[in-house]
Amino acid sequence: MTVERSAVDQDPDARWLARVMHAAFFALLGASLARFLLRHPWAELGPWVVALSVALAALYVAPVPRRLAWLSTVVAVWVVLVVLAPSFAWCAVPLFYTGLRTLPPRAALVLVALLTAFVMAAQLRLADGGVDPNLLVAPPAVAAVATAVFVHAQRQADRLAATERREGTLAERQRLSMEIHDTLAQGLSSQRMLLQAADRTWDADPATARRHVRTAASIAERNLAEARRFVHDLAPADLAEGAGLAEALAALAAREPGRLPVGFRVDGTPVALPDRVRSALLRIAQGALANVREHADAASAALTLTYLDDQVVLDIADDGRGFDPAAPPPPGDGRGHGLRAIRARAEQLGGTLTVESAPGEGTVLSVSIPLEQP
């Protein structure tokens, strides 16, 4: 039945429920026709009932583009069938579902009420004298249960969709925050320090000041390239030309401003890593070095990339002033945000972050990522 196809195709559970309801409709239609023919063997109304049953079945599966016209035609044929043979009344139950799926909520409830009233009238016609309370209570009860279950399921689906959208928004916000912290913020911080150094030495040592300015301009150019790639959701520039993670980390270490020498080495046998793992580890290194440069007052730092049998480990060590990992960061200290971003990146890949530090003893960040990615 194509009238519901656009909505149903997007939800596996809805497809399953639709198949059940459609099967129930044809089962009830066939059972009602069989009951009529068994009790009224080709009577005067027999040809009409058979013809209308076939027409209703054909309409139910017909690819009609206009939903309201299609539903109106199906209900009209069913009403005529029920007038001729009240045993077709219970085909209304799948029609409840179809109406609730097709119409706006208020219109659907009106249709359910009308169909229920018609079912009650048909059932009373089938009663052999007297009033059976069950015939007055059962149809409204079935309609109420069917409607309540459908509405509840629909609201649950809406709430789930809203939750998924909200979680997706929060995840994207966190991703953007991490990307900005590890790229643009790092570059701007480096430029600020270089320009401040240039300002301090401009009169006493113009050559050094100009070197600082040229380095700041180079960082600004690279930041601009990163921003463009960031806008287009591309891989980091250091990985864009097919470079491996080791080459990208080596380039990052060599690019650090002169006042923070950064060493780099690789241990173990390198293996191919998924793009998202390479990008995440490079971003982690960028963010960690930004923290070292801004907060650690370190004389040097080191990056170590280690390939183990089942995981790849990136260590970022510095000889700075260190800190207490268990203590909350001071207000305005970017280290807290940087560590949260690093931990979030690692956890997104099934990995872990370990922080080893103490006041006056430097810091080692160790990020472990499993080689087998889901």
CA–CA dist 374, 372 (Å, integer) = 7
Q: Return d(Cα 230, Cα 237) in angstroms, integer.
A: 10
**Beta strands across the sheet bearing 262-267:** 262-267, 301-307, 311-318, 363-370, 352-357
pLDDT at residue 186, as a whole number: 67
Cβ 274 vs Cβ 374: under 8 Å: no
* Dihedral sign of CA atoms 302, 345, 240, 259 in order: negative
| pTM, 2 dp | 0.48
Residue 335 has pLDDT above 80, yes or no: no
- The region that residue 129 occupies, defined by phi over 0 for left and psi between -120 and 50 for alpha, beta otherwise, is left
> What single-letter DSSP state applies at residue 349?
T
Count of C-beta atoms within a 10 Å radius of residue 223 = 20
**Amino acid (one-letter) located at 373:** Q
Distance CA 175, CA 168 (A): 10
**Residue 190's pLDDT is what?**
74
258 band by pLDDT with thresholds 50, 70 and 90: low
CA of 23: how far to CAs of 57, 60, 140, in Å? 11, 11, 23
Give every CB contact of residue 93 below 8 A, 6+ residues apart in sequence: 24, 28, 142, 146
Task: For residues 287-304, give the mean pLDDT.
Answer: 89
| Look-up of token digits 């080791």 | 246
Tell me what the mean pLDDT of segment 342-363 comes to.
92
Question: What confidence score (pLDDT) does residue 3 get?
Answer: 39
Average pLDDT over residues 249-256: 86
* Domains of the chain in sequence order: 2-131 (no CATH), 243-374 (3.30.565.10)
